[in-house]
A and B are shown apart, each in its own frame.
Chain A
């Protein structure tokens, strides 16, 4: 956390916000046993303005909705925020069949009687954690209605037949959504009004270079710039709808570099982590053309790293 605090000060994030965050940390303890849920993110989020907006919103008690295209770092930011605020993290992956029982909890049999088995939203609310509601717009709006009272000023969860719990003052919910994914739908107004919505921009070129530098300090500068350029060329191609967003995968790009570092050739690594994520053969060809026009296919670890 101290590292993250220092990183943010170096990034130029307002000191007053970080001071308040430190105060939040001091005043909101973590239950014993929950420490292991506080994330130690492998990647840092780069983007001063987004950081400032997100920190300010969370300090004001708001829930955050991170809306943006693929590869904008929504989940990275969510994990970074949980780390910065020192809160245990619950991750809820939404899907079309997500329902109240999945989110809040359901009955189960403990061998002698029927008992309530709490769901992730219940746990997060009662333990004062950060709940990441991942791909929130994948779920049907009816399923999300159970969260209304949790997310608004009432901050309660009423579990029918059991209890009515107050949401811990330290608890926050961070939704992520991508408008473009297949199967997504528009969030209804009632749910939207319970979040502060943060439009996530694509990572800036300088920031991506720094991300690569931080993640792979041994990587040669020229190679770093070529991989960065490759990412933006793929992004431009996806934005022009010539290929799907599947190929636009920042995690995939980082994974590919990691594979090259392990000794896999650049062609194979990029094929595994980027090209093969598109299922259409023709589209794979288009993606491969972009890669070939940037990165030689037979680069080895020695070519990429000092």
Chain B
């Protein structure tokens, strides 16, 4: 089960929500932050309590169907004030401290707003501000003179009774939506078109982003909490991935037919995409498939690709049979070299002991200090918690060397497994907006036949794939799986994809995913992997013109491979470099 990993303020906010909800499995679609990015303790507690006292699924569904946009965010914010009143009253008898927290939150509102400049105030939603003012004034027993009768009437309407159950709360929210805000709730969550292209979409995308920045409300969001917004307290929500346009549904069906079902559930994929499909990859989707689709797909397009894959499987196997002796020799050579490298890495430094190899520099201690530990003892090997991930670029540019890449992956995997180092092999490519990570071999699986399923086609969005690998590995490590990890990438260091990047800040046009930016993204992803303790290196088999790019992405941690016979030396050299750096 993939779990959302939170950091900083987000994690703190989620902890407050989980604590109030009493359920640590709930992935709340809402988080609340102060303007400086710190968690808003009280409002996060309210979010958690809404899950405790009300039907969380139906409440979430309501807001998802409501959708987002400046006016809708304003309505959401107001309705949350209603929910706040309801759950506060419900929780008060069992958690008396909540009354004090509510008062502190009210005081915080006046303190923060008292410090805002006129310009900052002008960005705020007056309607939400008025309602907050009335609510928090009431909490502190203050009188409000400035609010008009309309605002006072709405404030009264937003005092949802603590006696209400989910039906009554939702009934009131529907009533307010239609009578006060003159809106209706669509039957399905509002779809957000995520594929790229088109001037209209470009403009629409920028317009909504621009408005979002200006609409600074009590809105619910699920974000980083890194303090990127400048004005009053926010709660905002993101529904960007809850809807699916028809075109997106067709793409998904194609990917599923061709590459088989996704390894993770929809809920897990939402977590992964929310965390990873950000920045330049915000228009992308992810797909993790374990096996190739066994049955012939029905659609013409998918069937053609399926037949191509079958034909490539046969070619890969044929290549292996033809070069069997050379491949076996490479496995023998590589296992002999890597065994020594891994063994030396997995040993402790020799320790001081009363027997073993005499350490001449310490002999004086025996005479002067009566310290008998003058020897260096042989160290015991550490218990292995090391594994290797092999990532194969499976883009169209590899089309002419598919058989060789499959065999190279087989040599590396078989050699490492021979040394009892578990290896997992994943091929990656991008197609129709999806970056697909296809597992060809699992850790510890001595049978490497799955590697013959390697097939090149599509584009390669290296950065997104590397980010996905980092996330998955971090998730596995948090569950205690393999603490020391090495990631070897077989790459041509030339990332490019048909799915564009969103416009730059202030820009209007989508950008092609090619050139320097994807290289920079990939470098950032490699840096993040390294910072997270995943020792990363590349086996480069691209063109000489891409040498600079591989250097930019992987620094010194790469070797160039041109032929199968070079592989053992190249891999062992790369391993030495990676492990030497890891020991420092």
Interface residues in chain A, defined as those with a beta carbon under 8 Å from any beta carbon in chain B: 222, 226, 229, 233, 236-237, 239-242, 285-286, 289-290, 292-296
* A237 proximity list for chain B (CB < 8 A): 15, 18-19, 24
* A229 proximity list for chain B (CB < 8 A): 94-95
Query: Quick one: given A236-B24, A242-B24, A286-B15, are A292 and B41 in contact (CB under 8 Å)?
Result: yes
- Complex partner residue of A293 from B11, B19, B24, CB under 8 angstroms: B19
- Complex partner residue of B12 from A239, A240, A286, CB under 8 angstroms: A286
A296, B97: Cβ atoms closer than 8 Å: yes
Chain A proximity of B494: nearest CB distance (Å): 40
Decide if B96 is an interface residue (CB 8 Å cutoff).
yes
Q: Give complex CA distance A186, B562 in Å.
A: 49
Query: Quick one: given A222-B96, A226-B97, A292-B41, are A236 and B22 in contact (CB under 8 Å)?
Result: yes
B residues 9-64 in Cβ contact with A at 8 Å: 11-12, 15-16, 18-20, 22, 24, 41, 45
* A290 proximity list for chain B (CB < 8 A): 15, 19
B16, A289: Cβ atoms closer than 8 Å: yes
What are 14 of the A-B contact pairs (CB < 8 Å)?
A: A222-B96, A237-B15, A237-B18, A237-B19, A240-B24, A289-B12, A293-B45, A293-B95, A293-B97, A293-B98, A294-B95, A295-B97, A296-B97, A296-B100
* B45 proximity list for chain A (CB < 8 A): 293
Q: Give complex CA distance A236, B98 in Å.
A: 20
Decide if B101 is an interface residue (CB 8 Å cutoff).
yes
B residues 91-107 in Cβ contact with A at 8 Å: 94-98, 100-101
Chain A proximity of B29: nearest CB distance (Å): 19
Q: Which of B11, B19, B96 has the most CB of A within 10 A?
A: B19
* B95 proximity list for chain A (CB < 8 A): 226, 229, 293-294
* A286 proximity list for chain B (CB < 8 A): 11-12, 15
Q: Give complex CA distance A242, B41 in Å.
A: 17
Chain B proximity of A137: nearest CB distance (Å): 17
B residues 439-465 in Cβ contact with A at 8 Å: none
Excluding A286-B12, A293-B97, 15 further A-B contacts by CB distance (< 8 Å) are A222-B96, A233-B22, A236-B22, A237-B19, A242-B11, A242-B15, A286-B15, A289-B41, A290-B15, A292-B97, A292-B101, A293-B98, A294-B95, A296-B97, A296-B100
Chain A proximity of B479: nearest CB distance (Å): 9
Q: Report the nearest A residue to B99, measured CB to CB.
A: A296
Chain A proximity of B224: nearest CB distance (Å): 16
* B478 proximity list for chain A (CB < 8 A): 241
B20, A289: Cβ atoms closer than 8 Å: no
Q: Give complex CA distance A289, B24 in Å.
A: 15
A285, B41: Cβ atoms closer than 8 Å: no
Q: Give complex CA distance A286, B24 in Å.
A: 14
A-side interface mostly: helix
B20, A293: Cβ atoms closer than 8 Å: yes
Chain A proximity of B36: nearest CB distance (Å): 15
* B98 proximity list for chain A (CB < 8 A): 293
Chain B proximity of A228: nearest CB distance (Å): 11
Chain A proximity of B376: nearest CB distance (Å): 21
B18, A242: Cβ atoms closer than 8 Å: yes
* A222 proximity list for chain B (CB < 8 A): 96
Number of A-B residue pairs having CB atoms within 8 Å of each other in the complex: 51
* B22 proximity list for chain A (CB < 8 A): 233, 236
* B97 proximity list for chain A (CB < 8 A): 226, 292-296
A289, B100: Cβ atoms closer than 8 Å: no
Q: Report the nearest B residue to A294, measured CB to CB.
A: B97
* A296 proximity list for chain B (CB < 8 A): 97, 100
B96, A226: Cβ atoms closer than 8 Å: yes
Chain B proximity of A101: nearest CB distance (Å): 17
Chain A proximity of B352: nearest CB distance (Å): 16
Q: Give complex CA distance A237, B23 in Å.
A: 9
Interface string of B154-190 (1 = CB under 8 A from A): 0000000000000000000000000000000000000
B residues 67-108 in Cβ contact with A at 8 Å: 94-98, 100-101
Q: Which of A239, A240, A293 has the most CB of B within 10 A?
A: A293
Q: Give complex CA distance A229, B19 in Å.
A: 11
Q: Report the nearest A residue to B44, measured CB to CB.
A: A289
Q: Give complex CA distance A262, B154 in Å.
A: 49
* B41 proximity list for chain A (CB < 8 A): 289, 292-293
* B16 proximity list for chain A (CB < 8 A): 289, 293
Q: Give complex CA distance A240, B22 in Å.
A: 11
* A239 proximity list for chain B (CB < 8 A): 24
* B12 proximity list for chain A (CB < 8 A): 285-286, 289
Q: Give complex CA distance A236, B15 in Å.
A: 11
Q: Give complex CA distance A250, B45 in Å.
A: 25
Chain B proximity of A275: nearest CB distance (Å): 14
Q: Give complex CA distance A292, B101 in Å.
A: 9
Q: Give complex CA distance A290, B97 in Å.
A: 12
Q: Give complex CA distance A268, B199 in Å.
A: 61
Q: Give complex CA distance A176, B100 in Å.
A: 42
Q: Give complex CA distance A237, B20 in Å.
A: 11
Of all A-B residue pairs in the complex, the 7 with the closest CB atoms, nearest first, are: A240-B24, A286-B15, A290-B19, A296-B97, A289-B16, A242-B15, A296-B100
Chain B proximity of A96: nearest CB distance (Å): 15
Q: Report the nearest A residue to B478, measured CB to CB.
A: A241
Chain A proximity of B18: nearest CB distance (Å): 7
Q: Give complex CA distance A229, B18 in Å.
A: 14
* B24 proximity list for chain A (CB < 8 A): 236-237, 239-240, 242
Q: Report the nearest A residue to B22, measured CB to CB.
A: A236
Q: Give complex CA distance A242, B478 in Å.
A: 11
Chain B proximity of A97: nearest CB distance (Å): 15
Query: Quick one: given A286-B12, A293-B45, A294-B95, are A240 and B18 in contact (CB under 8 Å)?
Result: yes
Q: Give complex CA distance A286, B45 in Å.
A: 13
Chain B proximity of A171: nearest CB distance (Å): 36
* B19 proximity list for chain A (CB < 8 A): 233, 236-237, 289-290, 293
* B20 proximity list for chain A (CB < 8 A): 293
Chain A proximity of B483: nearest CB distance (Å): 14
Chain A proximity of B360: nearest CB distance (Å): 29
Chain A proximity of B31: nearest CB distance (Å): 14
Q: Give complex CA distance A239, B23 in Å.
A: 11
* B101 proximity list for chain A (CB < 8 A): 292-293
* A293 proximity list for chain B (CB < 8 A): 16, 19-20, 41, 45, 95, 97-98, 101
B96, A289: Cβ atoms closer than 8 Å: no
B residues 477-497 in Cβ contact with A at 8 Å: 478
Q: Give complex CA distance A35, B127 in Å.
A: 76
Q: Give complex CA distance A292, B24 in Å.
A: 19
Interface string of B99-126 (1 = CB under 8 A from A): 0110000000000000000000000000
Q: Report the nearest A residue to B100, measured CB to CB.
A: A296
Interface string of B416-434 (1 = CB under 8 A from A): 0000000000000000000
Q: Give complex CA distance A295, B478 in Å.
A: 31
* A294 proximity list for chain B (CB < 8 A): 95, 97
